[in-house]
Structure formats: structure tokens, C-alpha cells
Chains A and B, each alone.
Chain A
Amino acid sequence: MSLPRQGEKTPAFAVGPFGPDDARCYAAASGDDNPLHVDAALASAIGFAAPPVHGMRLMAAVEPALKQWRPDLRLTRLSGTFAEPLLLGEAATLSARVLKAGERDVLLRVMVQGPRRGPSLVAEAVLEAA
């Protein structure tokens, strides 16, 4: 088994679009019951065209995508910062690139990009042999 090389890129993976049922399902599963993520009227009142997707829902999309790319590798570290909100109904794309390749693991920069200029998630992930 060979690890990905520095500079190698994953395919682009579709993330979303998420609907209200998805938001409610994630809220129930995660325990994150902030009404902003499920209440369209509340989101509208503070200037969003639709409720923003839970940031952690975007981060949770990283592992399945990387597993689809390299099922022989295991995620051991995942960190990320949530930037531009992704709103319900908006599609996004997840992509990653190997920043550093070691003998046992690789470090990737992962981005989830929605329709706005800035990314919705900027993350780093470490994969190692499963």
C-alpha cells in the first residue's frame, strides 16, 4: 500500500444541498439544538436568506469523502474552522490536497466551498494506514 504523494488532490465531492429535514435530523443526532439552524423565520430576522447549515455537519462530510477516496486509510486527526455560512438549499463542493506526506501518514488541507467567495470550511486531516 502506498500513501498519497505531496500535492496529490482528491476528486471533488458534492456536499449538500441540505434541506430542512436534513437540518432537523442533524440537530437531533448531534444535540446541537440552536434554533438558528432550523428556523427559517429566525434566520431571516438576522439577515440570512435561509438557515445556515450546522458547521459540524460540513466537518462530518470530510471523513466519508476521504474514505471514498482512499478506503485503505484511517482518519486520525481532523480540525477545521467554519468561515462563510452555507445556507440550506445551497450546494457545496469538498476537495482536498496533500500538504505533507510522511512515511506513515499524510496531512491534507480540506476545503468545503459553497456559492460565496469564501470557503464554508477550512480543515486539515491526517490519514494513516488503517
Chain B
Amino acid sequence: MARIGPFAVVCDPASVVAYARATGYEGEGAPAAWPTVWLTTGELGAALRALVPPGKALVHESQSFVYAAPLTVGACYKIAATVAQETGPDRLVVEADATAPEGGQTLAMRAVLRIVAPQ
């Protein structure tokens, strides 16, 4: 199991708006599923992509979000993750915790990502 981070991440307003628009979310704040963006972008996203062999891609098998508090749009967080690499079939199991600057876990998320050859 590899540890990744912690990295600084932002609950980016433009990204939240784009995700809300793409998913029909009309509520206040960030959609609960929005932090999936942290798995594909920034340093965490890059670290995960580095674990995927060339020519292969990731497909979500499962995902969870557990909030201790809502994310604040525009706020910075620290995110730290562990990644387990499974075989037969090949998967990444990512567990990530986002904490607010003042401390205290805000969000725990877990993703099971199947490594597939898309062609």
C-alpha cells in the first residue's frame, strides 16, 4: 500500500459550477459527488495516473463519500490518500481524507478503480 500526499487542494468555485451544471445540481455549496474531481486532477490525480500502465484507463467500480462537514466552496484543504494495488482483476483502491486547514477531517472517500484496456 502506497501513501500519497498530503497535497493542498481547493474546492474550486469554477470546477464546482461546471460539475453542478454537468450533473443538474441546483443546491448550495458543492455537490456531494464533486470531490471525485480530486481523483482526476492536481497532484493526487497525477499520482494515481502514474500508477496506470500506458494504454490503460481507470473505470469506477465503486465510490463512497462520508462527510463530517460540508465542503466550503473556495476553501483549501489537505488531502492524503492510501492506494492499494490489486491484481486479478487489476484495480486501485484509493482511500482519501480531506481535512480543513484548522484541522479535523471533513471528508473521507473511497474509490475502487478498475484498470482496463479501453481498446
Contacts of B27 in A (CB 8 A): 63-64, 67
Q: Report A's interface with B, CB cutoff 8 A.
A: 22, 25-26, 28-36, 42, 45-46, 54-57, 59-64, 67, 74-82
Contact A77 B66 (CB under 8 A): yes
Q: A74-B70, A77-B64, A80-B64 are contacts. A34–B58 as well, Cβ < 8 Å?
A: yes
Question: How many A-B pairs fall under 8 Å by CB?
Answer: 106
Which A residue sits closest to B20, measured CB to CB? A29
Contact B118 A59 (CB under 8 A): no
Q: Report B's interface with A, CB cutoff 8 A.
A: 15, 18-19, 21-27, 31-33, 36-37, 39-41, 45, 57-67, 70, 110, 116, 118-119
Contacts of B18 in A (CB 8 A): 28-29
Contact B25 A78 (CB under 8 A): no
**Distance to closest chain B CB from A94 (angstroms):** 11
Contact A30 B40 (CB under 8 A): yes
Contact B33 A55 (CB under 8 A): no
The listed residue (A31, A64, A67) touching B45 by CB distance below 8 A is A31
**Distance to closest chain A CB from B39 (angstroms):** 8
Q: A35-B57, A64-B26 are contacts. A45–B62 as well, Cβ < 8 Å?
A: no
Contact A82 B60 (CB under 8 A): yes
Q: A56-B63, A79-B62 are contacts. A63–B32 as well, Cβ < 8 Å?
A: yes
